[in-house]
Structure 1
Amino acid sequence: MSVLICVLAYLIGSLGFGIIYSRFRGEDIRQKDAPGGSGVYRQYGLTAAILVSVLDILKGVLAVGLAQQFAPEVAWLAAGLVVLGHNFPVFFRFDGGGGIAPLLGALLVHAPQTLLVALGLTAVAIPVYKFVLQKHVKFNVLPAISVMVLPVVLVYAYLQQSGFLALLAIVVAMALRIPFSLKP
């Protein structure tokens, strides 16, 4: 059952709703923008972005929820695999998004307190970074915030025994995407 749940988590993650939405519109968003909520917002507007974001979050909820129900010993791995599927979707030539929305859904189910800590720290760190550090450091917000917040959240998850392995699996899945997102 564990192997089936892991495969299912990856396949659920591979449903790239931004790509699917853009194809219904007769396009492939990846030709113009990122296939996640922010790219969909820039290309198709707020309503489409909300729809895609909610569906991508629900992928994480569904994958981890199924794992917790039928194979709880691999729920942490299902969290990483749903993000891996989102980033490298088998249905779309392994060219997907960044994984933030399914990360939110996976942690919402698997480790909600860790998710709250991560969101809280991010909410504090973004304005501090944008108004104090960005003009000196000159990195985009998300990579910089990740470097600042992620170590703290990992330590919290480890000490509280709240989703450490799931968070680690997600971080690995997202880190694998980095070389592919550095297109010239």
Structure 2
Amino acid sequence: MEKEIVNKVANSKLEVFDLEDYFPKEEIVILDISKWLFEGFILKEKEFRDNLNKEDWSTYKDKGVILFCSTDAILPAWAYILITTYLQPFAKQVVHGNSQEYILLHYQRVLETVDYSIYKDKPVILKGCSKKAVPQSVYTLAIQKLMPVAKSVLFGEACSAVPLYKSK
């Protein structure tokens, strides 16, 4: 008679914290502001404001927007701020920078709202393999949230986890 195969991982008290569950769901748009500059390089305030007024900002409704300039234009600090005032009523989130910065800011916001009490005094695995590009810095944020509540924290998959933390 053969022994029954038992899934010890499924029967354990191990909780999985998967950062991919919190990955941004909104469409992320990269917006190059050089299109509103004279010859792509020079910010002429009146012309710049006129161009912004002509834009249909509703096309960014419920989207994440990353603002950047593809040229070497020297821009005043208020240029990105002004564009944000147009986007804010529509966009889900606006970031001046790149995709990594957008995702990091998203996770900073989201990880503040998670109810970590479900991990209280339990072993937790911080899932390491993901299909989406979760920045490494987000794992640093997550471990700081898990340590005060978890009994222990491991990284990776249940079959090959690396111990990171154990409460005393």
TM-score range, shorter chain: 0.3 to 0.5
Q: TM (normalized to structure 2)? A: 0.33
Judging by fraction of residues, say which structure has more strand.
2
Judging by fraction of residues, say which structure has more helix.
1
Greater gyration radius: 2
